[in-house]
């Protein structure tokens, strides 16, 4: 009851004139960011973050989270019209979306994708509204040891649930931690891994790393393939929209299934990318129209889009209630909280009520605004893709460079961005996942601090991580997730051996 009241107050805050303007601006920018290759959710938010330093935190997060919603919507446009996923999470949308466009059903595919996204997002927000306050009030009892255990759980579930080589996920996490450690140690004041360089004393700013890893590297990948865009025309007529909406109830089961998958994958840091593939795969297996998948089946668009958005939205649940982001973009937003002077974690729900509920209310409104805007403006954004790449690429790189510079007014950071661009390019091609690195970079210092406080409190006794039921359950759960993959591999191999003998 109390929460509903708080949410209503949040709506009041989010519905103020300038916040609505920020929301619309954010969604529009987000769609541009989602449509253009080389600018995505994480680095779109990273580039704009420095511009919000002086803003009121609530307005700032409304602007930035709206960019996130816009990017989630925008990714679908290029997937369907150009068969080029604007974002990794919309790869699965190309499988059926592009064939539909080829058959002249682009409007139907786009409407389906946007509506599915909206439904997924609203499910995610509902989950946040209902569950986040409970998680936060539960987490108020956490001490440093419990927090470290939750961090450990996050990192282990990355390794356990990732689709890449587990060694490489682990390496990516470790690099994130080590990058976070560079610079002055906040507890002792010692210089760590600076090798006498004055520039490294500040450490690596995660925003610079994100812009390089996700922005510059993406451009390099795009030129390597020598892409030229040649797309289908798009115009969405109101009748098509209504006809597609009328079909929605028929696909109820698919939508519910994808929502569930997405919410689960978002809360545990599996992320929107894995969720969209899982949503697609499950729909294909269980749908009556399964054999038509890949040939332009509307369910093949609905399933991944719903799952991706449900995951993308749910990723903010652990970020708000525990201070642990569920995706790379959520990690960037979390970094933003710290820059605006808010302490992420369960106390946020107690101390920053206005901020939290304003944000949650803006999630409902932002997604609604996003749906309307995106349905109205598709032709406009499809036109962006007709601008020659030779013009778009330097513009994106210029924006990246400006973004990297404004974080700390340092030209050295632009060089770092370039370096991380090359690292990101090589890592992507070798299947080292980048999201764990960003997550570990953002959380590294906090995880280390929790660990050191816990150890200090116990006088150096590692037993503090098994001292009570809560912390030992978390640790056991984390280790189970970590070892789940190798053990199930081993069991499969053993079973295979038995079968062949």
Partner 1 sequence: MTAMDSNEDFDEAVVRPAELDPEADVPGISRRTMEICISGLLVLLGALVLVDSYGIGAGWSEGLGPESGYFPSRVGWIFLALSVLVLVQAVRRPSDEVFVTVPQLLQVVRVLVPLAVYVALIAPLGIYVASALFIAGFMLIVGGSRWFTIAATATLLPLLAFWVFELQFQVPLPKGPLEMALGY
Terminal Cα-to-Cα distance of the chain (whole angstroms): 63
The one among 142, 355, 389, 465 contacting partner 1 by CB under 8 A? 389
Nearer to partner 1, 50 or 344 (CB): 50
Residues 68 and 86: their CA atoms lie apart, in Å, by 13
Q: What count of other Cβ atoms lies within 10 Å of the Cβ of residue 15? A: 14
Residue 103, C-beta contacts closer than 8 angstroms, at least 6 positions apart? 296
Nearer to partner 1, 394 or 496 (CB): 394
Query: To the nearest whole angstrom, how small is the minimum distance from the Cβ of residue 372 to partner 1?
Result: 26
Of 128-136, 314-322, 351-359, 382-390, which segment contacts partner 1 by CB under 8 A?
A: 382-390
Lay out the site mask for partner 1 across 24-63 (x = CB under 8 A, - = otherwise). Answer: --------------------------xx------------
Binders of partner 1 among residues 62 to 91 (CB under 8 A) are: 82-84, 91
Residues 288 and 341: their CA atoms lie apart, in Å, by 52
Binders of partner 1 among residues 298 to 337 (CB under 8 A) are: none
- Count of residues binding partner 1 (CB under 8 A)? 78
The one among 249, 341, 390, 469 contacting partner 1 by CB under 8 A? 390
If DSSP codes are grouped into helix, strand and coil, which group holds residue 193?
coil
Q: Are strands 183-184 and 191-192 parallel, antiparallel or unpaired?
A: antiparallel
Whole-number Cα distances in Å, 418 to 87, 345, 407: 21, 33, 15
Does 187 contact partner 1 by CB under 8 A? yes
Q: Are 208 and 404 in contact (CB under 8 A)?
A: yes
Of 189-197, 248-256, 312-320, 336-344, which segment contacts partner 1 by CB under 8 A?
A: 189-197
Query: To the nearest whole angstrom, how small is the minimum distance from the Cβ of residue 41 to partner 1?
Result: 21
Query: To the nearest whole angstrom, how small is the minimum distance from the Cβ of residue 216 to partner 1?
Result: 8
Does 208 contact partner 1 by CB under 8 A? no
Of 15-23, 58-66, 173-181, 485-493, which segment contacts partner 1 by CB under 8 A?
A: 173-181
If DSSP codes are grouped into helix, strand and coil, which group holds residue 431?
coil
Residues 359 and 13: their CA atoms lie apart, in Å, by 9
Q: Which residue has the tokens 């009556």?
A: 288
Q: Are 62 and 25 in contact (CB under 8 A)?
A: no
| Tokens at 99, concatenated | 């064939």
Binders of partner 1 among residues 113 to 132 (CB under 8 A) are: none
The one among 198, 249, 341, 388 contacting partner 1 by CB under 8 A? 388
Does 164 contact partner 1 by CB under 8 A? no
DSSP annotation of 467: S
Nearer to partner 1, 47 or 316 (CB): 47
Q: Are 40 and 214 in contact (CB under 8 A)?
A: yes
Of 5-13, 199-207, 248-256, 280-288, which segment contacts partner 1 by CB under 8 A?
A: 280-288
Q: Are 485 and 160 in contact (CB under 8 A)?
A: yes
Of 2-10, 124-132, 176-184, 346-354, which segment contacts partner 1 by CB under 8 A?
A: 176-184
Residues 301 and 162: their CA atoms lie apart, in Å, by 23
Buried b (16+ CB within 10 A) or exposed e, 144-171: bbbbbbbbbbbbbbbbbbbeeeeebbbb
Of 95-103, 202-210, 323-331, 360-368, which segment contacts partner 1 by CB under 8 A?
A: 95-103
Does 500 contact partner 1 by CB under 8 A? no
| Tokens at 449, concatenated | 């601090």
Binders of partner 1 among residues 249 to 278 (CB under 8 A) are: 277
Lay out the site mask for partner 1 across 443-482 (x = CB under 8 A, - = otherwise). Answer: -----x--xx--xx---x----------------------
Residues 307 and 255: their CA atoms lie apart, in Å, by 8
The one among 4, 17, 228, 249 contacting partner 1 by CB under 8 A? 228
Query: To the nearest whole angstrom, how small is the minimum distance from the Cβ of residue 173 to partner 1?
Result: 9
């Amino acid at each position: 009851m109390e929460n509903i009241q708080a949410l209503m107050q949040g709506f009041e805050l989010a519905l103020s004139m300038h916040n609505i303007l920020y929301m619309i601006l954010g969604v529009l920018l987000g769609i541009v960011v989602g449509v253009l290759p080389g600018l995505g959710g994480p680095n779109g938010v990273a580039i704009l973050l420095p511009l919000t330093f002086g803003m009121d935190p609530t307005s700032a997060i409304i602007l930035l989270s709206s960019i996130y919603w816009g990017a989630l919507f925008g990714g679908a446009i290029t997937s369907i019209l150009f068969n080029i996923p604007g974002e990794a999470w919309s790869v699965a949308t190309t499988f059926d979306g592009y064939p539909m466009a080829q058959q002249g059903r682009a409007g139907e595919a786009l409407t389906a994708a946007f509506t599915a996204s909206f439904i997924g997002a609203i499910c995610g927000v509902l989950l946040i509204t209902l569950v986040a306050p409970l998680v936060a009030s539960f987490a108020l009892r956490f001490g440093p040891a419990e927090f470290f255990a939750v961090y450990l759980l996050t990192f282990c579930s990355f390794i356990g649930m990732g689709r890449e080589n587990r060694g490489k996920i682990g390496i990516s996490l470790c690099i994130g931690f080590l990058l976070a450690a560079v610079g002055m140690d906040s507890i002792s004041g010692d210089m760590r891994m600076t090798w006498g360089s004055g520039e490294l004393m500040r450490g690596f700013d995660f925003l610079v790393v994100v812009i390089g890893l996700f922005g510059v590297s993406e451009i390099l990948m795009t030129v390597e393939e020598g892409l030229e865009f040649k797309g289908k025309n798009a115009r969405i007529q109101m009748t098509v929209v209504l006809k597609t909406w009328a079909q929605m109830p028929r696909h109820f089961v698919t939508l519910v299934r994808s929502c569930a998958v997405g919410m689960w994958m978002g809360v545990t840091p599996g992320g929107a990318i894995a969720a969209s593939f899982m949503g697609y795969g499950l729909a294909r297996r269980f749908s009556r129209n399964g054999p038509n998948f890949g040939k332009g089946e509307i369910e093949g668009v609905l399933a991944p889009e719903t799952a991706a958005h449900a995951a993308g939205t749910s990723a903010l649940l652990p970020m708000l209630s525990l201070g642990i982001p569920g995706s790379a973009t959520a990690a960037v937003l979390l970094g933003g909280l710290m820059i605006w002077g808010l302490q992420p974690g369960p106390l946020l729900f107690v101390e920053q009520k206005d901020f939290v509920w304003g944000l949650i209310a803006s999630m409902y409104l932002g997604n609604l605004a996003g749906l309307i805007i995106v349905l109205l403006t598709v032709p406009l954004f499809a036109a962006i893709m007709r601008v020659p790449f030779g013009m778009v690429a330097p513009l994106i790189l210029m924006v990246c460079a400006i973004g990297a510079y404004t974080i700390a007014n340092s030209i050295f950071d632009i060089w770092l961005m370039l370096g991380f661009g090359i690292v990101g390019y090589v890592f992507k091609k070798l299947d080292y996942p980048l999201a764990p690195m960003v997550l570990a970079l953002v959380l590294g210092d906090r995880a280390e601090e929790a660990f050191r406080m816990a150890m200090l409190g116990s006088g150096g006794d590692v037993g503090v991580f098994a001292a009570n039921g809560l912390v030992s359950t978390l640790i056991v759960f984390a280790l189970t997730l970590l070892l789940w993959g190798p053990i199930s591999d081993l069991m499969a191999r053993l079973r295979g051996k038995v079968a062949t003998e």
